[in-house]
Structure 1
């Protein structure tokens, strides 16, 4: 059940991840084929696997969850812990006396309440002191309309969240309008494409990526780069000695790491460190997204041998797929700089082959395109729930790696 849930990240004004919205309405046709949205919501929220798995889905951040009128009035949100969720009233919920009483009750019990896709009318006036967050669809209204809406929210002392923020231009616009939170994948796109010289550290990390993505991988060349740069050496040794690997004895050199972990694993984690370091000035969610894609593509390559995709190349392609957003430059230019091999170029630039298909499936899950997911699952001869489960597992793996990197 839980694997029919998708999520979208929510950031604060410092571009720090603070929550996810959990979205599952569009998946009801698969999860609950013979019930309406009210009953589906009720079954899902009451499912113990869902309530116990929220923290894993959100990496211990808050979860925004949509509720229908019936769910609100039947006190369904109270099934879930108040410190883990934001109760989001769907735009279809009317401002009735019963809904008002339910909202007041939620607030008295310590829940956070949000209004989704909100457009003000006078019937909502009495609700305003009890609402914590108002969500506004940044694409449905002009800047002038948004300003007018904000002025009309008399008695509201909460915070504003801009939805569907898909570029840095939109982030900057909504930021200037005074929004407190921003939902969407703006962070996964380049901020400004510009020509600029690389820093010394960037050159080192790009050189590392060049070596680990080479068709003829030479671990001695990696060792040479790591040993000559104390910063890289420190990061690698800190990582391989982290709780993620749960080693009893400390690893003190790259050669020892190769012996303990294996050549391919070291190659993989050196690539993670280099990529994460290139994205240090960006929201941490971008690094997690890249690692999630890497793991997801690798697992699909391992699971479906028919495509002949090499798992290592699948992992690296997923990992590098957001380098343009990390470095604010064209992906083709960055991959040219590191002399990426033909398999990676085919997947990321030419958009051809099995790995490109795996990446397109990951992107469909991220943007919650259920029809695309179902088609991809059919080609993979897997159920939609299995494909989404693989992505959630990849996200959890990425969160663990990113925490210890």
Structure 2
């Protein structure tokens, strides 16, 4: 039996990362696989997608994992460390005495309990008293419906989580209503601001993006621009010595780093650092999302050799796909400042071409839109599980950058 997983960030009020929800795909159901305890135990022992895989996917952050009534009664959550997961009870569960007993046991053993897509009924009262987190679908209930639901839980002392928050206005409204945790891609959308003038540092980083966006860029030109920023050399050295490369001997000088990295890796590093500096003050998760898109698109371009996609173009397309949210401006205005390939521009502005198709595919993974993923894989003539594995490898790679 094969299954795979997508992840969605859950943020705090300050837009810092709280956890990821892991959404498993197993046949037609997007839930924790309803498999036997023996099989689950075997997979855990083998270090498959569950235990070590979860830690890699979340970068040691908490993981929200959906559980069915059957998996709760089988005590499947006990196979995972209590300090690594949040046990999320699906809204389809019937809160029988056996389910309540299982959840209470988990709570007593230190597990955090969340109720998913919650809508109040008296039958859920025993689980409300146990729960630490209650999740509401912001889109399905609307502001009035949410208020009515929350008014029914006056005695609840836990945390409210608003999911499907898609705009900054919705994020602000949810905070005002008393929510503390937020799930959705509002942080990957531009905020309306009065001034979009670039300061001196931002101009340097925009210049760097322009330089490395060229297929045959000049390394001396990049180095000259890097040296204008006092922190860039340090970051380049840190990148060259990161766990990504698993070097035995430390790189100690800028020249060594440049020689070691070579043109391709230097391009990748400069693009990532330039984007991170342009996004200073933005949620860290926004940059991680951009890098994940970049790596996924690059790996897919390498895999799809018959499509004759330039992997470096694919990487930059993914990396720049959130530039509007990072810079709070339209993608059209921003790309006008960067001398960028027409293929990349077509993908990001006109939303056309094979690079745009890769962006739509990674967007589907971000939202766990399995039907769209299936259609895309059929079009690419690639098995879903292979493409899903590329997504997971890309997510793992992003986490190694923090090491």
Which bin holds the TM-score, normalised by the shorter protein? over 0.9
TM-score if structure 2 supplies the norm length?
0.92
Residue 258 (structure 2) aligns with:
258
* Alpha-carbon displacement from aligned partner over 1:376-396 (angstroms, at most 9, x marks no partner): 222322210110110110111
Higher helix proportion (structure 1 or 2): 1
Aligned 1:78-89 pairs, distance under 5 A: 78-89=78-89
- How far 1:44 moved relative to its partner? 7.5
Aligned 1:222-237 pairs, distance under 5 A: 222-237=222-237
- How far 1:45 moved relative to its partner? 4.6
Residue 294 (structure 1) aligns with:
294
C-alpha change, 1:187 and 1:45, in structure 2 (3 Å) is: farther
- How far 1:193 moved relative to its partner? 5.3
Q: How many positions carry a matched residue from both structures?
A: 397
Moved more, 268-277 or 241-250: 241-250
* Alpha-carbon displacement from aligned partner over 1:289-315 (angstroms, at most 9, x marks no partner): 111111111111111121111111111
- Structure 1 distance, partners of 2:194, 2:82, is 45
- How far 1:5 moved relative to its partner? 1.1
Residue 218 (structure 1) aligns with:
218
C-alpha change, 1:276 and 1:98, in structure 2 (3 Å) is: same
C-alpha change, 1:256 and 1:334, in structure 2 (3 Å) is: same
Residue 19 (structure 2) aligns with:
19
- How far 1:56 moved relative to its partner? 1.0
Residue 319 (structure 1) aligns with:
319
Residue 249 (structure 1) aligns with:
250
Aligned 1:5-404 pairs, distance under 5 A: 5-25=5-25, 27-29=26-28, 39-40=34-35, 45-46=40-41, 47-48=43-44, 49=48, 50-192=50-192, 194-247=194-247, 248-253=249-254, 255-401=255-401, 403=402
- How far 1:214 moved relative to its partner? 2.4
- How far 1:236 moved relative to its partner? 2.1
- Structure 2 distance, partners of 1:291, 1:370, is 22
- Structure 2 distance, partners of 1:206, 1:44, is 51
Residue 217 of structure 2 aligns to a residue whose secondary structure is coil
- Structure 2 distance, partners of 1:53, 1:259, is 34
> Structure 1 stretches of 5 or more lacking a match?
none
> Structure 2 stretches of 5 or more lacking a match?
none
Moved more, 39-48 or 123-132: 39-48
Q: Is the 8 A contact 2:290 2:321 kept in 1?
A: yes
- Structure 2 distance, partners of 1:170, 1:186, is 8
Q: How large is the RMSD of aligned CA atoms in angstroms?
A: 2.2
Q: Is the 8 A contact 2:214 2:341 kept in 1?
A: yes
- Structure 1 distance, partners of 2:212, 2:302, is 20
- Structure 1 distance, partners of 2:188, 2:307, is 28
Residue 228 of structure 1 aligns to a residue whose secondary structure is coil
